[in-house]
Structure 1
Amino acid sequence: LKYLNGFNPNGYNNQPKFFGYDEIYMTSAIDTSQITDIYHFDLKKTESYRVTNTEKISEFSPAPTPLLGSFTCVRIESDGVDQSLWKYPTDRSGQGTRLLPNLKNIGYYAWINKDTVALFLVGSPHKLAMANVKTNVVETIVESIGRCLKVDNDGNLYFVHKISTDNWVLKSYNIQDKSMSVICKMPSGKEDFDIMMNGTLVVGDGSMLKTFIPGKDIDWISIADFSLKGINNINRLSVVRDRIVFINNK
């Protein structure tokens, strides 16, 4: 177990995302700043650097795009209201480009392919939508979803459907035939998860990491307990091969 917040022990650190086996992008606000930027971590070299530094604009939810050389993130614009999707070059050679300019309520997202992105649209209730970044066509799929959107090796989207306050169900959506399948019930109050390369699902539940193998398991299985490390609220998971990074909410 390694801690990655030494560069910013008193600030805000959230939404880590593996871009490679030794590479993590994360959302951080240094010390008491209210503005978040994207930071890059090289686990092999144990080095970090700031990727974005936009005045009065916060970035969060970094993710690699299907095309090499760029990443996307959600920006809270300088008015503090509009939430938009932006694409930046990973080599920091440009100022970035806004995608889906007609949308101002993008909370989270997941790339399906180079043209299609799944969106968590902020609202009452929150909505799941599919958008084409070339045509700007947006299609609403379902309402009352969780913030976590993940895509498996077959291009199927996984999301949490909040059917009621005490019934949160993990579902998959096939963008080809637009069919939806129930995978399993989530642990109580939990909406963050990730999918391993072999299809195993991983979730944080308090101090514990749990897994679920679709088609085999009937309930989540505990695989690790970090309570002795003072970790009691695991959220915002990202996995790559045999590594997992997560946030311990305090």
Structure 2
Amino acid sequence: MRRTLLMFACLAGVRVHAQVPDTDVYVARLSRRGDSLVAGPAINVTMRAGYDNQPAFLPDSRRLLYTSIGADAQADIWEYDLATRRRRRLTTTPESEYSATVIPAGASAALRFSAVRVERDSAQRLWSFDAMGGDPRLILKDLKPVGYHAWVDSARLIAFVLGTPSTLHLIRADGTDDDIRARDIGRSIQWSAVRRAFSYTVRDSARARWIVSQQLATSVERRVAPASADNEFHAWMPDGTLLTSIADTLVRRVERRAGGAWIAVADLRMNRVKHVSRIAVSANGRWLAFVAEPVVPAVPKDTARQRAR
């Protein structure tokens, strides 16, 4: 339990209490109506008391991975199938795993995902696993403590490394060409394939938060958009549209229109949630996943686990 709470404190940046926050993962359909983006009603895919967080879609856009801290106080990676609405536990280890992300690969390559593992000595390093959560392999031996990461391609990734200050690394998967690109950044790091750029958040001299980006070839920061004062998390759609939530409202930004202003998409509070944080978009752009705290009490842990069997 100590290792789990230490990892949660580092990743979430909040004071640790006896329990981590009760957060759930929700999914909603995304669709286009002319120039408008529409988000349908959300489904609570975890629906239990406890910490469920960090959603990431698989390439088929039919399943997503997420982190769940169970009754055993261990953080493990779970998978949710959007069609069957069934959950499956992928990792069952003495360690804790967080921040699952699919590793890009060719069409013939077997699917693997990466995750931050809190090892028995409390080291936080990046590991990979097969599609069933087995065959663990250490990816970056010397880079630690890793908090978050995002893959550029099968050979390169960006990694958030905890410290004072935190650092953002562009590094090859074999540990070479480690280039520190930024310092003192926020917890949301994203890769946009269509823009060929990665994004993250920083604060300016007035402590205002901004979403900024860098191209791979240069470390020059470009301001993309002002970020919400209460939420640093954002995500890119496949077409390059930027999404975030402001005051629990999903908003989008298209630079070529309306002067790049944020445009409201959906009031997520209609789904009886509050404190919306992390968001993710499927590869086909048709699904949104987000993390929030339910307004109504969740079902007991044991009941939720029985449904997942």
- Residue in 2 that maps onto 1:203: 244
Residues of 2 paired with 1:127 and 1:178: CA distance? Answer: 13
Residues of 1 paired with 2:222 and 2:177: CA distance? Answer: 24
- Residue in 1 that maps onto 2:265: 223
CA contact (8 A) 1:29 1:37 kept: yes
- Residue in 1 that maps onto 2:292: 248
Q: 2:156 aligns with which of 107, 116, 139?
A: 116
Q: CA deviation at 1:135?
A: 4.4
Deviations 1:18-57 (A, max 9, x none): 11321010000123x32100001111122221110111x1
Which protein is richer in strand relative to its size?
A: 1
CA contact (8 A) 1:205 1:233 kept: no
Structure 2 unmatched runs, 5+: 1-41, 295-309
Structure 1 unmatched runs, 5+: none
Q: CA deviation at 1:115?
A: 1.3
Normalised by the size of structure 2, how large is the TM-score?
Answer: 0.74
The one-letter amino acid of 2:153's match is N
Q: 1:126 to 1:249 in 2, by over 3 A?
A: farther
- Structure 1 segment 37-186 matched on structure 2, within 5 A: 37-55=76-94, 57-67=95-105, 68=109, 69-80=111-122, 82-92=123-133, 94-154=134-194, 155-164=196-205, 166-186=207-227
Normalised by the size of structure 1, how large is the TM-score?
Answer: 0.91
Q: 1:135 to 1:58 in 2, by over 3 A?
A: closer
Q: Secondary structure of the residue that 2:278 maps to in structure 1?
A: strand
CA contact (8 A) 1:166 1:189 kept: no
Which protein is richer in helix relative to its size?
A: 2
Residues of 2 paired with 1:88 and 1:190: CA distance? Answer: 30
CA contact (8 A) 2:167 2:185 kept: yes
Size of the aligned set, in residue pairs, is 244
Q: Secondary structure of the residue that 1:160 maps to in structure 2?
A: strand
CA contact (8 A) 1:166 1:188 kept: no
CA contact (8 A) 2:141 2:175 kept: no
Deviations 1:37-89 (A, max 9, x none): 0001111122221110111x110101110124111011111123x11000111
- Residue in 2 that maps onto 1:193: 234
Q: CA deviation at 1:164?
A: 4.7
Q: CA deviation at 1:165?
A: 6.8
Q: 1:236 to 1:53 in 2, by over 3 A?
A: same
Q: Secondary structure of the residue that 2:43 maps to in structure 1?
A: coil
The one-letter amino acid of 1:87's match is S
Q: CA deviation at 1:90?
A: 0.9
Q: Secondary structure of the residue that 1:235 maps to in structure 2?
A: coil
